């Protein structure tokens, strides 16, 4: 019995340690609108979902808050090139790349 409780607490601990992405709110849209004129709650959510699917193929989800907007501006194109090279096709096209950047840079500050 002790072993089971021990195992369960380890599992809970490990799952809480993984990156949980924040869902965008209207406040994020308002903040992001200073940089991206075409930003909406829908576009932020779309960026989040592309980020979650395309950017977890080689490593775990990176926390948007851990990099500055300036860093994301160089990292996202660099990672997009990596993702497309690995897939052998344009899995992240220019529009998706822009949506990912919009999401991570808006949520980073």
Residue among 101, 105, 106 nearest 27 (CA): 106
Query: For ligand HEC, which residue of 2, 58, 60, 88 counts as binding (CB under 6 A)?
Result: 58
Using the rule CB under 6 A, is 82 a contact of ligand HEC? yes
12/73 with CB nearer ligand HEC? 73
Using the rule CB under 6 A, is 107 a contact of ligand HEC? no
By CB neighbour count within 10 A (0-12 exposed, 13-18 middle, 19+ buried), where does 44 fall? buried
Sign of CA dihedral 98, 46, 80, 32: positive
Query: Of the ranges 7-15, 20-28, 34-42, 55-63, which one interacts with ligand HEC (CB under 6 A)?
Result: 55-63
CA distances to 14, 76, 106 from 82, rounded to whole Å, are 28, 10, 23
Query: For ligand HEC, which residue of 39, 99, 100, 107 counts as binding (CB under 6 A)?
Result: 100
Return d(Cα 79, Cα 73) in angstroms, integer: 11
Using the rule CB under 6 A, is 106 a contact of ligand HEC? no
Residues in contact with ligand HEC by the rule CB under 6 A: 54-55, 57-59, 62, 67, 75-76, 79-80, 82-83, 86, 92, 100
């Amino acid at each position: 019995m002790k072993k089971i409780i021990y195992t369960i607490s380890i599992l809970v601990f490990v799952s809480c340690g993984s990156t949980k992405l924040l869902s965008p709110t209207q406040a994020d849209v308002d903040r992001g609108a200073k940089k991206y004129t075409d930003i909406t709650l829908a576009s932020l959510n779309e960026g989040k979902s592309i980020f979650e699917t395309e950017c977890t193929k080689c490593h775990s989800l990176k926390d948007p808050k851990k990099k500055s907007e300036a860093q994301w501006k160089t990292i996202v194109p660099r990672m997009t090139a990596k993702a497309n090279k690995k897939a052998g096709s344009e899995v992240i096209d220019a529009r998706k790349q822009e949506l990912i950047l919009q999401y991570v840079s808006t949520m980073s500050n």
